[in-house]
Amino acid sequence: MNTIRRYISLGSVACIGLCMILVTGCKKLVSIPDREERLVPTNGFANDGQAMDAVNGILARCMQTNASFMNGAFSIFPGMSADELQPTANNDVLVQFADNRLTSDNTRISIMYNTAYNLVAQINIVLENLNSGKVTRATRDRLMGECIFFRAFINLQLTCLFGDVPLVTITNVDVIAAMSRTGIDSIYRQVIDDLRTADSLLPASYIVMQKDLVARTHPDKWVAHALLSRIYLYEGHWVEAERMATDVLESSELGLASSPDSVFLNDSREILWQLIPFDDGVVGEADYFLPKSTGAMPAYIIRPTLMNAFEPGDRRKAAWTGLSGGMPYPRKYKALMTDKKRECNVVMRLAEQILIRAEARAEEGDLPGAIADVDVLRSRAGLPALQAGLSSQAVLEAVWNERRIELMCEWGHRWMDLKRTGRAASTLGSLKPAWRLTDALYPLPAGELKKDTNLVQNTGY
């Protein structure tokens, strides 16, 4: 009897011991420790500094490779698709853009598409880790505002190129991998929602940086406002577009640069948002547009129609175009190796806001207001004011023309303007024999249709 009791007590002690180990040790034992070497803990950012470094990672990745998506690609490729640029090299990948006969295996198309979605994934992952991590409220709000703004910006740029695209706001790769394309209206709704959220989260002034550092590299409230005014313009919501642009224009932080020459210097007050280049401090546009040696043939030349569109006496012609080997090329950015660090990639600037308001006013019938806005830019360019008493169509055309010159070879504005104002067919059809209506949208990369069978190609490809 005694021995049995002893066995039982021994057994029960062992059992209780095992159970205790099971309950207390189990969870801890199989949860792997968070180690410094792995950068980010498995449950989100560890502190404010880490969160800021992760957001800086987005800015850095925007600029890591020239002309991949954010750093020059829009100025170059849609610039060629529109009536601005022509490549001088007989490289079919580039000529396809200039001739509007893109094929779905064009490598530049897949680089842009891939880079954009790399950024979207990065943004969504950073957002997720901001949500779950140990970041203080104020920092988290600001960083989330920035991320949501970046996502809105990239989605808007993507639709400018491809039309309907998969709209990714989640991080589950299995779900994303089977996504189909989202209609452009839904994307615009999401972009507007995102921008309103960003607008409410972002501070009304740029984060104070140390004196020797470049400012305006992180978006603030007015940048979100500015993108909202742009998308309202694209959608034809003139009242909202005007209101947003006015808010931005009235901000005390911003002001037009005094002359076209100083617009793109990184201390210009005209800049809303700029990105710092990698390595040697040369932005993508400078790298691709500027001739590599004196007198060399530029890689991309400005089409004669654009050169001829400058009015006589326009200071911007001398400031923003150059001649090399007898050929005109864009030189809004001038720094190639020398004088580096004075230029960043200007993503958004105040002049566009003036033109958005001018166009919105013209559409609303406020012709004197529209003319006044256009004249601000004309006077900076050394041009006489517009005549009073122009017809509303004439004012609208004056605004479009001003956009064409002021925003030339900059972020593909011309390509988007031609498409949204219905002038693509008339302008490009006469210039390029291969033009068809379906060329307004780029093809999705052919390889992507195989990897995600729910994707459908754009018509015409």
Positions touching other proteins (CB under 8 A) are 3, 6-7, 10-11, 14, 18, 21-22, 25-26, 29-33, 35, 37-40, 42, 49, 53-54, 56-61, 63-64, 110, 113-114, 117-122, 125-126, 129, 166, 168, 171-174, 176-177, 179, 209, 213-214, 217, 276-279, 281, 445, 448, 450-453, 455
Nearest distance in Å: CB 342, other proteins: 13
Q: What angle do CA 62, 66, 67 make, to 5 degrees?
A: 90
CB of 372 to other proteins, least distance (A): 38
Residue with smaller CB distance to other proteins, 88 or 114: 114
- Nearer to other proteins by C-beta: 174 or 250? 174
- Cβ 267 to other proteins shortest distance, Å: 14
Q: How far is the CB of 67 from other proteins (least distance, A)?
A: 16
Nearer to other proteins by Cβ, of 260 and 445: the residue is: 445
114 versus 392: smaller Cβ distance to other proteins: 114
Q: Which is nearer to other proteins, 165 or 302 (CB)?
A: 165
**Residue number with CB closer to other proteins (88 or 169):** 169
Closest distance of CB 125 from other proteins, Å: 5
Cα–Cα distance between 374 and 358 in angstroms, integer? Answer: 6
Nearer to other proteins by Cβ, of 173 and 431: the residue is: 173
**Residue of 215, 252, 287, 255 whose CA lies nearest to 353:** 255
Q: Which helix (H) or strand (E) holds 274?
A: strand 271-275
Burial of 444 (0-12, 13-18, 19+ CB in 10 A): buried
Q: Can you tell me the distance from the alpha carbon of 441 to that of 419, in angstroms, rounded to the nearest whole number?
A: 9
**Could you tell me the CA-to-CA distances from 176 to 148, 157, 255 in Å, in that order?**
18, 19, 42
Q: Which of 403, 259, 410 is nearest to 330 (CA)?
A: 410
Helix axes 392-406, 367-380, angle to 10 degrees: 30
Identify the residue whose tokens are 């891939």. 114
Task: Rank residues 251 and 274 by Cβ distance to other proteins and give the closer one.
Answer: 274
- Which residue's CB is nearer to other proteins, number 65 or number 427? 65
* Minimum distance from residue 57 beta carbon to other proteins (Å): 4
Q: Which residues have C-beta within 8 Å of that of residue 18, sequence separation ≥ 6?
A: none
The CB-of-42 to other proteins minimum distance in angstroms stands at 5
DSSP 8-state assignment for residue 343: B
Q: CB 169 → other proteins: shortest distance, Å?
A: 12
Q: Least Å distance between CB 162 and other proteins?
A: 11
How much of the chain is helix, strand and coil, in % rounded to 5? 55, 5, 40
CA distances for 2 relative to 7, 8, 248, 264, 360, angstroms: 9, 10, 90, 94, 98
C-alpha distances in Å from residue 372, one per residue of 260, 310, 386, 389, 397: 19, 20, 8, 12, 15
Nearest to 124 by CA among 159, 161, 150: 150
